[in-house]
Amino acid sequence: MKIVYCIGSLAKKGGTERVLANKANYFADKLGYEIHIFISDQKGLPFCYEFSKNIKFHDMATSQYAPKLVIKGISFFVIIRKLRKVYKARINKINPDVIIVCERGFDDFILPYICKSVPKVREFHFAKGAVKNNSKIIKPLIASLHYRFLYFLLFRQFNKYDYLILLTNKDQQEGNYKTNTVVIPNIVEFEGENRVSDLKAKSVISVGSMSDERKGFKKQIIIWKDIAKKHPEWILHLFGDGARRSYYTQLVDNLDLNGQVILHGSSDKMPDNYLSSSIFMFTSSAEGLPMVLLEAQSFGLPCISYDCPTGPSDIIEDGLNGFLIAENDKNEFIIKLEQLIENIDLRRKMGAAAVEKSKLFTYKNIVPKWESFFNSILKK
């Protein structure tokens, strides 16, 4: 099997980049696939994740094709026209069995229009319902309208691919996509490393980007104000970084929660952080399939999450391996979180079920879905 993946850059750590690294490495090293990764423009920066030596990389350096005189709108189509020729020539030399585009960018306006005999696949790492929810929290209004317009264009481009890979059945059922859709979830990275938390620590953990309000850290800090009154010995540990981190730090100070809510920034020791925690807390307003929930489950943590679109409901079975709370129902969230805090037997029961759930998203169970999909393409 010969696969060409296309991505904007591999310089900055992110979910899409990590998922690509996991899959590409496995396909190249374990399955013996010939993997090529087209990077729109790496700009000479180092890779954000470790990649197999068996993978071939192609830095397309797209910025060098930009016209000297930039005219908004027109310049975009000028560069696209040039890049179609460049990509076509490179792809013809490789002669792949399939081309997979991983994220929004130039690629959506290049790949569907060239090398028509090669099947084109688009991975969508978000969901239509999540896009709708996310647009509601973007401020100011002009920014929200711009966001909606970009996704309007993106969804139109989806129709030009042969296949669309989605993360959840819910998105497939509710998304009303016009092209062929296949559901293949992401692979959980840590898989518990055969270790699980003993759930004794008086510690709740949450992980995510702080670049905007989507992950809901403000909600968590406000919720913890109520938790801290009744359970002052428990601590909320927040892992992540971004533009909003300084705001959250100030909010913790304003609510007099210093020492009870700790912002750690990014960490390269997440397995240890999960293992030293007893509960995972999640309050995102929009997701595709949140990997942090799967990672937390693989270390035996019961999870409590708002039921945002989409993903949490595919991972958490309410009352079995955690609690799924109606969006923004703060009071119910506090009630269920306190149940977990006050009952270690409940934590252990849900934690054991969480480990079993996470196994559905391991290489063992997800890779065969990709193999089956690729085989179906080859047959056609």
pTM over 0.75? The answer is yes
- What are the residue boundaries of the structural domains of the chain, listed by start? 2-186+362-379, 191-361
272 pLDDT above the threshold of 90? yes
Q: What is the pLDDT, as a whole number, of residue 14?
A: 83
Measured distance CA(161)–CA(240) in Å, rounded: 34
Determine whether 230 is exposed, middle or buried from the number of CB atoms within 10 Å of its CB (0-12, 13-18, 19+): exposed
Would you state the torsion angle of the CA atoms of residues 375, 168, 365, 358, taken in this order, to the nearest 10 degrees? 170
**C-alpha pair distances (Å), 76 with each of 87, 249, 374:** 16, 40, 33
| Arithmetic mean of pLDDT, 208-236 | 97
pLDDT tens-digit readout, 283-295: 999 999 999 999 9
Which class is 191-361 in CATH?
alpha beta
Q: What is the pLDDT, as a whole number, of residue 192?
A: 60
Query: What CATH number does the domain located at 2-186+362-379 have?
Result: 3.40.50.2000
pLDDT tens-digit readout, 167-183: 999 999 999 999 999 99
Q: What is the pLDDT, as a whole number, of residue 380?
A: 80
141-158 and 128-137 helices cross at what angle (nearest 10)?
A: 170
The yes-or-no answer to whether 2-186+362-379 and 191-361 have a common fold is yes
In this structure, how many other beta carbons lie within 10 angstroms of the beta carbon of residue 178? 12
Measured distance CA(352)–CA(191) in Å, rounded: 14
